[in-house]
Amino acid sequence: MDSGNTYWDDRALLEWQVELGATDAIQDTPVDRYTLEASKPKPKPETLTGPPPIPVEVEVDVVAVAKAAAANAADLPALSAAMQAFEHCEIKRGARSFVFSDGNPEARVMIVGEAPGREEDRAGKPFVGRAGQLLDRMLGAINLGRAQEDAARSVYITNVMPWRPPSNRTPDNEEIAMMLPFLERHIALVDPDVVILMGNTPCQALLGRTGITRIRGTWTEVLGKPCLPMFHPAYLLRNTAAKREAWADLLEVNARLKT
């Protein structure tokens, strides 16, 4: 019999080492396992065989966007530019003109209406149609007007919405909310002595209330300014009997300006 190592001798010796607790076979030279780990080849990226994944649409907080844009407007021209650059109001798509304001920015009285109508959309100015003509006559009765050179007797006019809604519909809550930061900044920049809210929409935007027949004629406050809700001139054209209340409200405004 050959006295050298045989398969059975080698196997017996290996089993004996396993029984002693050996778990790894050690080579003649040491192995640096840290080097092996660092040099391990990176797995290849999986190749996409199907259609590309559908991109997830990120929802934009349009009110936050409006607040940031309005806050950065240092003056009225900058505010006008920021509003024209605002792309999140769908009403803008169907309007012909951007209607910012009219009158004297130094005026003591600031009037806030709802939105441009057809005539306003054509002219690019607020309150130029039949309702606007009635408004001018109402203001003239207490010696106020948008064309007055004297700031003490002039008015400044704007709307909640700077674009005409389709078919002159009432702006919805979402549209009002996204334009409110611009309106609040508008009032802050003009800094009037008195704010007049004409109709339900500006009352909803700035007071959080509607029901103009109940709240008209009662002084309240908007952004630290005395504020009086009044009937919209378009309402007065349809309900001539309400002109009595409108005249009483005008007298209230005149009395407040004198004090």
**pLDDT tens track for 52-100:** 777 666 788 999 999 999 999 999 999 999 999 999 999 999 999 999 9
C-alpha distances (whole Å) from 163 to each of 81, 96, 167, 169, 232 are 14, 8, 12, 12, 18
Residue 214 lies inside a defined structural domain of this protein: yes
**pLDDT tens track for 115-132:** 999 999 999 999 999 999
Is the pLDDT at 25 greater than 90? The verdict is no
Query: What integer pLDDT is reported at residue 210 of this predicted model?
Result: 94
Residue 100 lies inside a defined structural domain of this protein: yes
CB 194 within 8 A of CB 226: yes
Cβ count within 10 A of residue 239? 13
CB 221 within 8 A of CB 190: no
Is the pLDDT at 145 greater than 60? The verdict is yes
Residue 192 lies inside a defined structural domain of this protein: yes
**pLDDT tens track for 195-245:** 999 999 999 999 999 999 999 999 999 999 999 999 999 999 999 999 999
The band of 8, judged by pLDDT with boundaries at 50, 70 and 90, is confident
Residue 102 lies inside a defined structural domain of this protein: yes
Residue 17 lies inside a defined structural domain of this protein: no
Residue 45 lies inside a defined structural domain of this protein: no
Here the tokens at position 125 are: 């100015």
CATH number, residue 103 = 3.40.470.10
- Whole-angstrom Cα distance, residue 112 to residue 79? 16
Residue 51 lies inside a defined structural domain of this protein: no
pLDDT, average across residues 2-31 = 70
Residue 25 lies inside a defined structural domain of this protein: no
* Strand-pair category, 225-230 with 109-113: unpaired
Question: What range does the domain containing 79 cover?
Answer: 62-258
User: How many domains, in total, are found in the chain?
Assistant: 1
The band of 15, judged by pLDDT with boundaries at 50, 70 and 90, is confident
